[in-house]
């Protein structure tokens, strides 16, 4: 508990990934992505319950090895490609409150595919949510100017076409406004509003900027990028 708020941390880890088979069990510096996520929570003793939401007994056992509880095995109905994060979080809160016989005030979503998070990122996100009394707090990273929407093209009739109407007016990157993407390090959401609104991000969500390189694991090259970043941090 922190500042009178009971905290549930959820690591969502379904087994049916397509881009990288068994992605959440892939090793990074000798530890699975599930292990990296669990260890980022292990230093935070104010979290009341730390669970893994998975449809796999293998993933569940991996979570247990690193201090996670397994109050349920996620049903197949919310474990497929078409399942969405809201359903998974909603299920995790409901099942955990029934299993542990307690009401949680805040749910933290810690994605294994963002393994370079730090415990401090989670704590900062949680504290900013509490002090702001916003709906949710979301870690974000700044988009590289090379990938800014105003510099992006689509191809129409075999010709380049600016995706944004503003694209043709951009002459240098200093004209581009700063944009951000959610990096998966941490989502912190007040449970009761979430049960009604059923969304992770609303008009009352606040950003928590991660001002360093992080990796989001979708493809093999992302694992190599994460390995490189860890190497640079160790030096």
Domain residue ranges of the chain, discontinuous segments joined by +: 7-142+179-234, 144-177
Say yes or no to pLDDT of 231 above 80.
yes
**CATH code of domain 7-142+179-234:** 3.90.550.10
Q: What pLDDT, in 10s, does the model give residues 47-57?
A: 999 999 999 99
Average predicted confidence (pLDDT) for the chain? 93
Q: What pLDDT, in 10s, does the model give residues 26-81?
A: 999 999 999 999 999 999 999 999 999 999 999 999 999 999 999 999 999 999 88
Say yes or no to pLDDT of 197 above 80.
yes
User: What's this model's pTM, rounded to 2 decimal places?
Assistant: 0.93
- Average of pLDDT values for 203-228? 96
CA distances in angstroms from 63 to 59, 98, 124, 190, 191, listed in the order given = 6, 20, 24, 24, 23
């Amino acid at each position: 508990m922190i500042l009178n708020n009971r905290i549930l941390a959820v690591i969502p880890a379904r087994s049916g990934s397509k881009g990288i088979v068994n992605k959440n069990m892939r090793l990074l510096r000798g530890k699975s992505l599930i292990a990296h996520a669990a260890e980022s929570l292990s230093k935070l003793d104010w979290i009341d319950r730390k669970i893994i939401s998975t449809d796999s007994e293998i993933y569940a056992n991996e979570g247990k090895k690193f201090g996670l509880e397994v109050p349920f095995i996620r049903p197949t109905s919310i474990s497929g490609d078409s399942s969405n994060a809201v359903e998974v979080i909603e299920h995790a809160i409901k099942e955990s409150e029934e299993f542990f016989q307690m009401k949680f005030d805040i749910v933290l979503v810690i994605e294994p595919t963002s393994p370079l998070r730090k415990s401090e990122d989670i704590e900062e996100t949680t504290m900013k949510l509490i002090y702001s009394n916003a709906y949710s707090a979301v870690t974000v990273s700044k988009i590289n100017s090379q990938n800014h929407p105003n510099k992006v093209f689509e191809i129409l009739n075999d010709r380049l076409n600016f995706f944004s109407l503003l694209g043709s007016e951009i002459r240098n990157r200093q004209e581009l406004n700063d944009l951000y993407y959610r990096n998966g390090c941490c989502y912190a959401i007040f449970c009761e509003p979430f049960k009604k609104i059923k969304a992770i991000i609303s008009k009352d969500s606040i950003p928590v900027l991660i001002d360093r390189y992080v990796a989001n694991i979708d493809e093999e090259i992302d694992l190599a990028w994460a390995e490189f970043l860890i190497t640079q941090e160790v030096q």
